[in-house]
Amino acid sequence: MTYDATFRVWRGDASGGDLQTYTVPVNEGEVVLDVIHRLQATQAGDLAVRWNCKAGKCGSCSAEVNGRPRLMCLTRMSTFAEDETVTVTPMRTFPVIRDLVTDVSFNYAKAAQVPAFVPRPRDEDGNHRMQQVDVERSQEFRKCIECFLCQDTCHVVRDHEENKQVFAGPRFLIRLAELDMHPLDAQDRRAAAQEEFGLGYCNITKCCTEVCPEGIHLTDNGIIPLKERVVDRRYDPLTWLGSKIGRRPGR
């Protein structure tokens, strides 16, 4: 079944732009990215759009569909009424390069600031050992495809450009949590999480969790546990005292 859909697509670059309206045929079973490709092939040959796998695994086609941060390849056209106008804009948190393509280098700069994994000394036989039960918590965060939708939707940087200096964003807070929970990582990252990566800026309103296409529970399993670990170190006198008198040895 084919119908003509009305699409509004943001066209422009850093110097300005606007929403332009198109009428595009839509076939049954298609996703927004299919329609954007058809638009590019038939009406707007210079439309810039970043994409790669079309399977929700590369994280390239991040955009905002009807105002909601989404992967275009995972947004089915069947979720819209046939007479509904579909608005597609670039991610609003990052500088636009052209049309739907944004410059996400902010994220790469933050990634480079996260201290790398520091392995504990090897066992006497020269091996590293860890139990599955110890590492499986961190594995949830390894599902991240770095689409940066969580970074895009996080109001701390979305609504306050100036906070980009002091706040790393949810993607890198769960990277810190992943490393801090890792049984073989020797570095204590709690102080850095609060002081250098701006953990205290997060007010846990969970938008990052809502938009994650991988279904990672960023807030409940990553950011809040990291906040609690920071409380252990900075705000809880009993835990601090316990660590000083030897009641709380290594984690």
Partner 1 sequence: MTTTAPRGAGTAAPGRGTGDSGRAAIAARTLRTDRWWVQPLITAVALVAFVVYATFRAFQNAYYFAEPYISPFYSPCLSTRCEGDTFPELFTGPTWISPAIYILVFPLGIRLTCYYYRKAYYRSFWLSPPACAVAEPHRGYSGETRFPLVFQNVHRYFLYAALVINVVLFYDAVLAFRDETGAWGHMGLGTLVLLVNAVLLFLYSLSCHSCRHIVGGRLNHFSRHPVRYRFWTFVSRLNARHMQYAWVSMFSVALADLYVFLLAADVIVDVRFF
Spell out, one character per residue from 59 to 78, where the chain touches partner 1: x when CB under 8 A holds, - when not: -----x-xxxx---------
Residue 9: what are its φ and ψ, rounded to 5°? -120, 135
For partner 1, the closer CB: 54 or 210: 210
Query: 30 with 77: CB under 8 angstroms?
Result: yes
Among 56, 95, 192, 243, binds partner 1 (CB under 8 A): 95
- Exposure of 44 by Cβ count < 10 A (0-12 exposed, 13-18 middle, 19+ buried)? middle
Using CA atoms, how far apart are residues 151 and 92, in angstroms rounded to an integer? 10
Q: Provide the sign of the torsion angle of the four alpha carbons 64, 221, 142, 195, taken in this order.
A: positive
Determine if 231 is a binding residue for partner 1 (CB under 8 A): yes
Q: At residue 115, what is the residue type?
A: P
Task: Choose between 38 and 92: whose C-beta lies nearer to partner 1.
Answer: 92
Q: Which is nearer to partner 1, 8 or 57 (CB)?
A: 8
* Sites for partner 1 among residues 178-207 (CB under 8 A): 180-183, 185, 198, 200-207
Q: What stretches of 160-218 show up as alpha helix (H) in DSSP?
A: 170-181, 190-195, 207-211
247 lines the binding site for partner 1 (CB under 8 A): no
- When the beta carbons of 82 and 220 are compared against partner 1, the nearer one is 220
Helix 170-181 to helix 105-113 angle (10° resolution) is 30
Interaction of residue 4 with partner 1, rule CB under 8 A? no
Q: Which is nearer to partner 1, 53 or 122 (CB)?
A: 122
CA Rg value for the chain: 22
Could you report how far apart the first and last alpha carbons of the chain are, in Å? 58
Applying the rule CB under 8 A, the residues between 102 and 161 that interact with partner 1 are 102-103, 131, 133-134, 153, 155-156, 158-161
Q: Residue 170 and residue 205: Cα distance in Å, rounded?
A: 11
Looking at the Cβ atoms of 2 and 15, the one nearer to partner 1 is: 15
Please say whether the beta carbons of 26 and 35 come within 8 A: yes
* Binding footprint of partner 1 on the chain (CB under 8 A): 8, 10, 12, 14-21, 64, 66-69, 84, 87, 89-90, 92-96, 102-103, 131, 133-134, 153, 155-156, 158-161, 163, 180-183, 185, 198, 200-207, 210-211, 220, 224-225, 227-232, 234-236, 251
